[in-house]
Each structure stands twice: as structure tokens, then as C-alpha cells.
Amino acid sequence: MPSPLRNGDAPFPAGAGGPPHRHFHSAVAEHKIRRLNALILLLRLAAFCFSLAAAVFMSADSSRSPTSPSWLHFHPFRFVFAANGIVALYSLFEMGASIWEILKGATLLPESLQLWFDFSHDQVFAYILLSAEASGLTEARGKAGAWAAESGGFCLQSYISVGLGFAGFAFLALSTLLSAFRVASYIITGSPFHF
């Protein structure tokens, strides 16, 4: 039984038969496509988990005292919270798109549009996340660090949140590299999975 066609693929004309070892090559290509899609899904899952954990750690205020610091008092920490929350939502959407592609063998959007969407959004959100984490780290080591004697829990939570955010950025950056590979492959060969 021949493998299902991907978006944009055209079947061989009747009687043409294709290359002599077409079934072997398509089976190898399908295996590589499944591996790449599984790797993309795994990276997106990791980015989602770390970004969500970073947002939760930043928003969970360990101190209930009105004189103790809160992440709401610091603009960079609000930026860290917002950026991680947005990246978590984006990663959740992209995980759904990856699962759809694995199960159905087709992309949610037309294939070229999906490739450019993934590539551009991965880059934008990775940049936003890196900017937020750098800003949060600077704040944690600066003004917020001066409050460490009063509220060590607050500073510890901010460091954990920033660290988790940097891990989320690392996985999103790896996703960006795979998205770039798919776009480059599509531009050169007309197929996002040509190896």
C-alpha cells in the first residue's frame, strides 16, 4: 500500500511507475519525516513545560506581607511573566499542530504557509523570551537582590523563574533551527522534508 500523499505532492501518472525503488525510498523518507516530527513535538513540549513553569514560579508570591516585595512591583518581572505565558500558549498551539501533522500526515495550514508561520513565530518568540529573561536576571541581581535579606524566598523564586525561562528559550531556539531547516529544504527542493 503506497504511503499517503503529503500536502502539495502529486501522484505519479498511471503507468509511469516512478523510480525502480520508489517504495523503499518513500518508506525511508516517511521514517525520517516521522522522526523529525517527533523531535519537533518533543522540543515544543519541553518549551511549553519550561515556559509554563517559569510563569507559575514568577506569579507565585511566597510572601503575603504587604511590606515584602512582589513580582508586580518590578516591570522586568512582569515582562518575564508575560513572555513566558505567551510562549507557553504558542508552544501549546504548536504542539497541537505537530500532533495533527503526525497523525494526519498533513499540516493544519497549507504547507508553505505553515512552514513560514512556524519559522517566523519561533524566531520572534525566542527573541522576546530571551529579552525577558535577560531583563529579569538583571533585575533579580540588581534592585530585587537588595531585598534578599528581607525576603530570600522572593529572590529565590525570581532566580528559579528566570532559569526555567532560559531553559524554555533553549528548547524554543532548537525548534527554530528545525523550522529553519524545513524552510530551507522547502526553498531548495520544494519539499520541507528532503534529506
Number of independent structural domains in the chain: 1
Is 86 within a domain? Answer: no
Find the range with the poorest average confidence among 37-41, 53-57, 120-124, 149-153: 149-153
Which one-letter amino acid corresponds to residue 94?
A: E
User: What is the average pLDDT across 3-28?
Assistant: 50
Rounded to the nearest 10 degrees, what angle do helices 75-104 and 111-141 cross at?
150
Could you say which DSSP state residue 7 is in? T
User: What is the average pLDDT across 171-189?
Assistant: 89
Q: For the chain, what percent of residues have pLDDT higher than 90?
A: 34
The range of the structural domain enclosing residue 179 comes to: 24-63+91-189
Is 146 within a domain? Answer: yes
Give the list of residues 6+ apart from residue 187 with CB closer than 8 angstroms, or none: none
User: What is the average pLDDT across 56-61?
Assistant: 80
Residue 91 pLDDT:
95
Is 73 within a domain? Answer: no
19: left (phi over 0), alpha (psi -120 to 50) or beta: beta
Is 43 within a domain? Answer: yes
Is 177 within a domain? Answer: yes
Other beta carbons within 10 Å of 92? 16
Is 84 within a domain? Answer: no
pTM of the model: 0.74
Residue 126 pLDDT:
94
Q: Is the pLDDT of residue 195 over 50?
A: no
3-state secondary structure of 188: helix
